[in-house]
Amino acid sequence: MEKQLILFLIVMLPVAGAFFLPVVGRFSEAVRNRLAFLLVAASFVLSLTLLPSVLNNQVITISQNLPLGFNFILTADALAVFMAMVSSFISAIIIVYSFTYISHYENRGEYYLMVVLFLGAMMGLVFSGSLILLYVFWEITGITSWRLIGFFREKQHVLRADKAFLMTVFGALLMLIGFIRLYVETGSFDLQVIKEAVKIHPLSGLTVALIMAGILSKSATLPLHTWLPDAGVAPSPVTALLHAAVLVKIGVYVFARLFVVTMPLDIPWMNVIAIIAAASALVSAGAALIDTDLKRIIAYSTISQIGFIFLGFTVSNEIGVAGSLLYILMHGLAKAGLFLCAGIIEQNTKTKDITKLGGLMYTMPVTALSFLFCSFSVMGIPPFGGFFAKYMVIAGTLQAGHLAIAFVFLFGAVLTILYLFRVFNMVFMGDVGSSSAKEGSPSMVFCVALFAVLSLLGGILISYPNNMIAIVIKQMITGSIPT
Amino acid sequence: MPSLFVLTPFLLLVVVNLPFKFLRKQIALWPAVGGMLVAQVVFSTFYPLNIGRGIADPFEQFFMFGLSLDSLSSIMLLIIGIVAFVSVLVASSMISEERQVFHFLNLILISVIGMNTTVLISDIFSLYVFVEITALAVFVLIAMEKGKFAIEGTFKYLILSAVASVFMLTAIAFFLMAVGSTSFAAIKDAFASNSSDAFLLKLGTGLFLCGLLIKCGVVPFHGWVPDAYSAAPASVSVLLAGVVTKVSGVYVLLRLFGTVFILNAALQNTLLLVGIISICFAAFASLTQTDFKRMLAYSSISQVGYIVLALGAATPLAFVGAVFHFFNHAIFKSLLFVNAASLEKRLGTTDMDKIGGMGSKMKVTSATSLIGLLSTAGIPPLSGFWSKLIIIIALFSAGRPVYAVIALLASALTLAYFLSLERKVFFGKVVASPAAETKASFGITFSEVLLAAITVAAGLGFAFILNTWLLPLKEIVH
């Protein structure tokens, strides 16, 4: 098959296919569920087929000129394909988990529509070669996550969904102002044109600040992070998808795409962002340490870990960026696993309050073990995948000479270990509570176990992801530094 | 060709009023009027695609005033056709009494004649006359149900329209004094030649603007809008909000201030200021509304603000954006008013505090309202996003970044009040609903789907719309 067609299908299959899901669901639930899985899996498989050519330093582009420079451009380079593979793979597992999780709630048609549309928009965003297309997909992810957070229709839930939507849209509008400033200055939304243009006219600080506002709001980084813990009222597969694996990575990805690849930022800017990331990592780790709601703790943990990913990109040396990319993968796997474990616990014990839970180690052993494995990866304990990523980020920071920031993040890593052990202790150890909780359904347990095993394998077989990331980095860095 | 758009509805009006009983039967009336409007949509769609151009107009001599069909008129005819058709569809499922149907359709025909002629005409005095004809038909339409609020709404609209008429007529008198003619071409030449009567021209422009701003219903002349929109019967509020105020106010503003008058700096600043104040004030006012239709009315004021703002930027690109937003706004605002009609028919109320969780019970209304409101808030990829984007880019390029930023951030406000609407009405738990529960009718459901489809299609196919209808507009802007 032609590569352009594959690229087009990766984006359009889930985007267009999503709208058929509610229709199919009217006739057969089982067919709809499988179709949803197939659409997402197809995106993953098709991304995989692009892998050999992008690793050979090929860049695949689809371009359609539209009036006023609102061009439709999809570009697949190594970074984009890497990101697409990570997102679609994790999403596919989450959909399998949803089969039983969501089966006894209302509005299932809307659920699958939104989840698959979300993934499709994510694919579009990852491959966008023009700022305007990126913005379009960015907002589609916002719409879908709004519907998904308010999925249970409780008044409180819908309010929080609105809050999340408004905060991210506000950030996105600021970002759009930044994009329009770029457009007025360079005459184009095309990233390639902008890349050439900023070599001559450096970016204005205001534009950078505006775009950063959008990125920080989407990636739930201080001070625009408050929507993320609140959004934990969504169904657990959704929180896994949105808050751990995919949505919050959008901001990080766009940061890498714009400010590492297309228009590299100056050192002072990078330092400012590193400091924001450090503050964000510490504050949210502190919040995670005192909260008692299981999903809120994991959400705060996400905010904290996003700080690490930002840090690696800001030091702009190879090892730091490699650490960040690796952590996008490892954190996605481990955090999705944690949220899905939380989903099993929540559904079987009917509570998310960790002070009311206890002793689940004995009644749900597989979930407990999976939770532990995923926690190890997030804590950064060798030989789990998270360890290598965190190590590389901090090594990169040291290489760049930021001793103080590296130290802050080490402290953040220690806090991570503390709060995750605290959660594990309170939920799984101790006396068996009054609840007669059972293990989740086989397919749900299989999914969490899979994430746990992958977190471990990711560490043991670190050379495979690392080799790929090395090529991604080569393309990113050589592309970004004018030779 | 242009005269057909005036003569066809006129002939239909004469025919249905012939003294034959069978002509007054509903079964003949609905298809006749509906079919005529569909024909209008079809013909005005084909015009920019170069089909039917160059055919000599046999009725040209019939009119004392010049009719001319350019790309701006053709878009307007398209919008009038679509919205009037939807209004008739909605009415067909809301009005059942024979006599009322007859009255309704007569008035609709008169208002369509008025609007069609307004957008085709190229003479400022005749323009005024047809704006008034439209208004007269609509006054009666709003008051048709004879309720207390309906009379109050009509009265406010009537009085303010009368004030607007005084302004506009006086302005026309000044133009006549200064130019000696009331045709667009002559006035345009007078502006361009910088004649000695510049003061009269300025005075006329200022007065005309005051009259038009009342007709547009922008802040600070917006007082009549929420009352008139919410008091009108469902089908009429679709027509009123979708096209009537848009054509008799906003179109005239676009035509005169975009293509005929030359705007000086003071006038540009006035338009920008009025636009931005309308956007923000009406958005804040919307936040506090508890009635579905009143909220939509305030939202309408806010969206018209964007069009006025774009006109103040006075560049061809801004004009394109303004017309695009005009089109989009007519479609999605009509859609939202049809949603309101659907709620009203089903529950007997549009008070948002009394309804809730209708998302699971009224799936089509819920889904289409979502499209309408996201488009209004300028969320991509829906149509409203592209028109707002063009307006904002045009403002930036015209060196008005502050206005651009405020206008853009006001989108967040728009989203905020629409999210509260969605939360109260659709997206939530079901509230015990009032007794009157009837199934939504085919007419309403079909209109909702049709308008939502246009909104989505205009968003995804914005490039086609821009190339075919809108970018040619740059030629008629000076």
Q: How high does pLDDT run on average in chain A?
A: 87
Q: Do B393 and A180 touch (CB under 8 A)?
A: yes
Q: What is the mean pLDDT of residues A155-163?
A: 87
Q: By the 8 A CB rule, do A451 and A334 touch?
A: yes
Q: By the 8 A CB rule, do B216 and B157 touch?
A: no
Q: Is the pLDDT reported for residue B50 higher than 80?
A: no
Start-end of H helices in B121-197 = 124-142, 148-179, 184-193
Q: Could you give the CA distance from residue B96 to residue B450 in angstroms, rounded to a whole number?
A: 23
The per-residue pLDDT for B439 is: 66
On whether residue A317 sits in a domain, the answer given is yes
Binned at pLDDT 50, 70 and 90, residue B179 comes out as: confident
On whether residue B330 sits in a domain, the answer given is yes
Q: Is the pLDDT reported for residue A133 higher than 90?
A: yes
Backbone angles phi, psi at B123, to 5 degrees: -145, 125
Q: What is the mean pLDDT of residues B122-127?
A: 90
The per-residue pLDDT for A479 is: 61
Q: Which pLDDT tens digit goes with each residue over B393-426?
A: 999 999 999 999 999 999 899 999 888 888 888 8
Q: Is the pLDDT reported for residue B127 higher than 50?
A: yes
Q: Do B416 and A166 touch (CB under 8 A)?
A: yes
User: In terms of pLDDT, which residue wins out, A237 or B250?
Assistant: B250
Best B427, B456, B469, B470 member to test A by mutation, with max A CBs in 10 Å, is B427
Q: Is the pLDDT reported for residue A204 higher than 90?
A: no
Q: Which pLDDT tens digit goes with each residue over B60-106?
A: 666 666 788 888 888 999 999 999 999 999 998 888 888 888 889 99
Residue B126, min C-alpha distance to chain A (Å)? 36
Those residues with Cβ within 8 angstroms of residue B28's Cβ, 6 or more apart along the chain or in another chain = B22
Of the listed ranges A377-381, A416-420, B93-97, B240-244, the least confidently predicted one is B93-97
Q: Which pLDDT tens digit goes with each residue over B98-121?
A: 888 888 999 999 999 999 999 998
Those residues with Cβ within 8 angstroms of residue B174's Cβ, 6 or more apart along the chain or in another chain = B200, B201, B203, B204, B207
On whether residue A136 sits in a domain, the answer given is no
Q: By the 8 A CB rule, do B343 and B445 touch?
A: no
Which of B386, B396, B463 is nearest residue A184 as measured by Cβ atoms? B396
Cβ neighbours of A5 (radius 10 Å)? 11
Those residues of chain B whose CB sits closer than 8 Å to some CB in chain A are 317, 357, 359-360, 374, 379-381, 385-386, 389-390, 392-393, 396-397, 404-405, 408-409, 411-412, 415-416, 419-420, 423, 427-429, 462-463, 466-467, 471
Q: Do A67 and B427 touch (CB under 8 A)?
A: no
Q: Do B467 and A135 touch (CB under 8 A)?
A: no
Q: Do A180 and B396 touch (CB under 8 A)?
A: yes
Percent of chain B with pLDDT over 70: 94
Q: Could you give the CA distance from residue B36 to residue B30 in angstroms, rounded to a whole number?
A: 10
Residue A13, min C-alpha distance to chain B (Å)? 16
Report the b/e string of B295-314 with b at 16+ CB within 10 A.
bbbbbbbbbbbbbbbbbbbb
Which of B393, B396, B415 is nearest residue A169 as measured by Cβ atoms? B415
Residue A299, min C-alpha distance to chain B (Å)? 24
On whether residue B86 sits in a domain, the answer given is no
Binned at pLDDT 50, 70 and 90, residue A1 comes out as: low
Percent of chain A with pLDDT over 70: 97
The per-residue pLDDT for A482 is: 37
Q: Do A158 and B381 touch (CB under 8 A)?
A: no
Q: Which pLDDT tens digit goes with each residue over A237-287?
A: 888 887 777 888 898 999 999 988 888 888 888 888 999 999 999 999 999
Binned at pLDDT 50, 70 and 90, residue A483 comes out as: very low
Q: Which of A334, A331, A337, A335 is nearest to A389 (CA)?
A: A331
Which of A68, A107, A139 is nearest residue B380 as measured by Cβ atoms? A139
Residue B152 CA to chain centroid, in angstroms? 22
Residues 151-210, chain A, touching B (beta carbon < 8 A):
153-155, 158-159, 161-162, 165-166, 169-170, 173-174, 176-177, 180-181, 183-184
Show the domain range for B342.
263-478
Q: Could you give the CA distance from residue B264 to residue B244 in angstroms, rounded to a whole number?
A: 29
Cβ neighbours of A331 (radius 10 Å)? 30
Model pTM score: 0.93
On whether residue A463 sits in a domain, the answer given is yes
Q: What is the mean pLDDT of residues A308-321?
A: 88
The per-residue pLDDT for B21 is: 74
The per-residue pLDDT for B65 is: 66
Chain B residues inside the 8 Å CB shell of A136: 380-381, 385
CA-nearest residue to A180 within chain B is B393
Q: What is the mean pLDDT of residues B221-228?
A: 89
- CA-CA distances (angstroms) from residue B351 to A204, B248, B344, B348? 48, 29, 9, 9
Which residue type does B226 have?
Answer: P
Residue A96, min C-alpha distance to chain B (Å)? 26
Residue A129, min C-alpha distance to chain B (Å)? 16
On whether residue B449 sits in a domain, the answer given is yes
Q: Do A136 and B380 touch (CB under 8 A)?
A: yes
The per-residue pLDDT for B132 is: 93
Binned at pLDDT 50, 70 and 90, residue B339 comes out as: very high
Give long-range contacts, CB 8 A cutoff, 24+ apart: B157-164. Answer: B157/B224, B157/B227, B157/B228, B159/B224, B160/B214, B160/B221, B160/B223, B160/B224, B161/B135, B161/B214, B161/B215, B163/B211, B163/B214, B164/B210, B164/B211, B164/B212, B164/B214, B164/B215
On whether residue B388 sits in a domain, the answer given is yes
The per-residue pLDDT for B193 is: 82
On whether residue B255 sits in a domain, the answer given is no
On whether residue B295 sits in a domain, the answer given is yes
Binned at pLDDT 50, 70 and 90, residue A480 comes out as: very low
Q: By the 8 A CB rule, do A121 and A15 touch?
A: yes
Q: Could you give the CA distance from residue A203 to residue A214 in angstroms, rounded to a whole number?
A: 17
Of the listed ranges A362-366, A367-371, A411-415, B266-270, the least confidently predicted one is A362-366
Q: Which of A4, A252, A271, A235 is nearest to A100 (CA)?
A: A235
Backbone angles phi, psi at A293, to 5 degrees: -95, 125
Residue A338, min C-alpha distance to chain B (Å)? 29
Instruction: Please report, in angstroms and rounded to a whole number, the separation of the first and last CA atoms in chain A.
Output: 34
Q: What is the mean pLDDT of residues A291-295?
A: 88
Residue A283, min C-alpha distance to chain B (Å)? 28
On whether residue B89 sits in a domain, the answer given is no
The per-residue pLDDT for A211 is: 92
Show the domain range for A323.
266-483
Q: What is the mean pLDDT of residues B258-282?
A: 91
Tell me if residue B135 falls in helix, strand or coil: helix
On whether residue A4 sits in a domain, the answer given is no
Q: What is the mean pLDDT of residues A424-439?
A: 75
Best B415, B430, B456, B466 member to test A by mutation, with max A CBs in 10 Å, is B415
On whether residue A6 sits in a domain, the answer given is no
Q: Which pLDDT tens digit goes with each residue over B351-381?
A: 888 887 787 788 888 899 999 999 999 998 8
Q: Do B429 and A66 touch (CB under 8 A)?
A: no
On whether residue A51 sits in a domain, the answer given is no
Count the domains in chain B: 1
On whether residue A480 sits in a domain, the answer given is yes
Residue A39, min C-alpha distance to chain B (Å)? 21
Chain A residues inside the 8 Å CB shell of B463: 66-67, 70
Q: Which of B163, B260, B155 is nearest to B478 (CA)?
A: B260
Q: Which pLDDT tens digit goes with each residue over B312-326?
A: 998 999 999 999 999
On whether residue A333 sits in a domain, the answer given is yes
Report the b/e string of A29-57 with b at 16+ CB within 10 A.
eeebbebbbbbbbbbbbbbeebbebbbee
User: In terms of pLDDT, which residue wins out, A55 or B249?
Assistant: B249
Side-chain half-sphere exposure of A133, counting CA atoms within 13 A? 26
Q: Which pLDDT tens digit goes with each residue over A385-406?
A: 889 999 999 999 999 888 888 9
Count the domains in chain A: 1
Q: How high does pLDDT run on average in chain B?
A: 87
On whether residue B344 sits in a domain, the answer given is yes
Binning chain A into helix, strand and coil, the percentages to the nearest 5 are: 80, 5, 20
Chain A residues inside the 8 Å CB shell of B419: 162, 165-166
